[in-house]
Amino acid sequence: MGVFIRLFLVTSSLLLVTMYFYIMNTLSITTIQTKLFWEDKQANLSMLEEKIMGIQEKTNIVILPEMFSTGFSMKPEFLAETMEGETLRWMRAVAKSKGIILTGSVIIEEEGNYYNRLIWMLPNGQLGVYDKRHCFSLAGEDEHYTGGSKRLVSSVGGWKINLNICYDLRFPVWTRQSIHTDPEKEPSPEYDILINVANWPEKRSHAWKTLLMARAIENQCFVVGVNRVGEDGNGLYHSGDSMVIDPLGQTLYHKAHEEDIHTIVIEKATLEEVRSSFPFWNDADGFLIAP
């Protein structure tokens, strides 16, 4: 299957990644909810590679948690890598070997700044990136990391996927659908799936679960939230609560407290039926996101 990628700036706040190949009526997604070794890249990469290579089901996309190689650390000066670093090389090799798209966020240094950066790694080695827009000030993330300014939307086999990280989930304007209009075509939502990778503590799990469902309902899209489990180096416990939610807000998958690798197949027909039955786009407000 021939695959190539094109990157281009659509607006000041949106980076679109397009992956060209045949249109897919279904998409297979694998979520990996796992414990993480605190600030230990080698241990995490080894553990995650074993889990990924052990996936038996055919899958298109494998999703890892936020800062999957280190845990949610505020020590980027010691842990950050460049875009040519070990973790990116590992992602490229694993994606190629398994024939998947691999995604999750890592700590990246670029031009003297540190970013909590989601990597969207294609099986041919090309990639897209998204820098977390909303740094979590309650944990001091804003003191160590630079926030991003561009959304990342990827197109995979005709599925449009919006990618964000953890705390971004609390800000509905950042993830709100904008409707593409063309006088000769039907109104077209900007994306079909919202993926959020997280290190979201258990004591705020009610907010996590509620916001995932809210984003699905208000944007009439599938939502996939992938969180870690276990205690981190700061003594915070994470219950996971990774979820897949349909465009009506119904839970298709949910797992709490345990490590879990789950593959789910979602159908384009479900999405199209919801959007055609409830054409709320006709009443939506137009807006622009300020940089």
- pLDDT value at 10 more than 70: no
Quickly state the pLDDT bin for 14 (edges 50, 70, 90): low
3 pLDDT higher than 50: no
Q: In which residue are the tokens 């080695």 written? A: 125
pLDDT score of 11: 39
The whole-angstrom separation of Cα 85 and Cα 254 is: 34
Averaged pLDDT score across all residues of the chain = 91
Question: CA 221 to CA 287: how far, in whole Å?
Answer: 19
pLDDT (tens digit, 9 = 90+) per residue, 139-187? Answer: 999 999 999 999 999 999 999 999 999 999 999 999 998 876 666 666 6
The predicted pLDDT at position 286 comes to 79
For residue 290, the model assigns a pLDDT of 72
Amino acid 2: pLDDT: 32
What is the pLDDT at residue 184? 66
Whether 155 contacts 22, CB under 8 Å: no
Report whether pLDDT(18) > 50.
no
Tens of pLDDT, residue by residue over 241-258, are: 999 999 999 999 999 999
Given pLDDT bands bounded at 50, 70 and 90, which one contains residue 23? confident
Residue 288's φ and ψ, nearest 5 degrees, are -125, 145
Q: Using the predicted structure, report yes or no on whether residue 8 has a pLDDT greater than 80.
A: no
Q: How many CA atoms lie within 13 A of 99 on its CB side?
A: 8
Active site residues: 66, 132, 166
Residues in contact with 166: Cβ distance below 8 Å, sequence separation at least 6, in sequence order: 66, 132, 136, 196, 197, 198, 199, 200
Q: How far apart are CA 122 and CA 1, in angstroms?
A: 13
The pLDDT of residue 287 is 78
Architecture of domain 39-52+59-278 in this structure = 4-Layer Sandwich (3.60)
pLDDT tens digit sequence for 88-107: 999 999 999 999 999 999 99
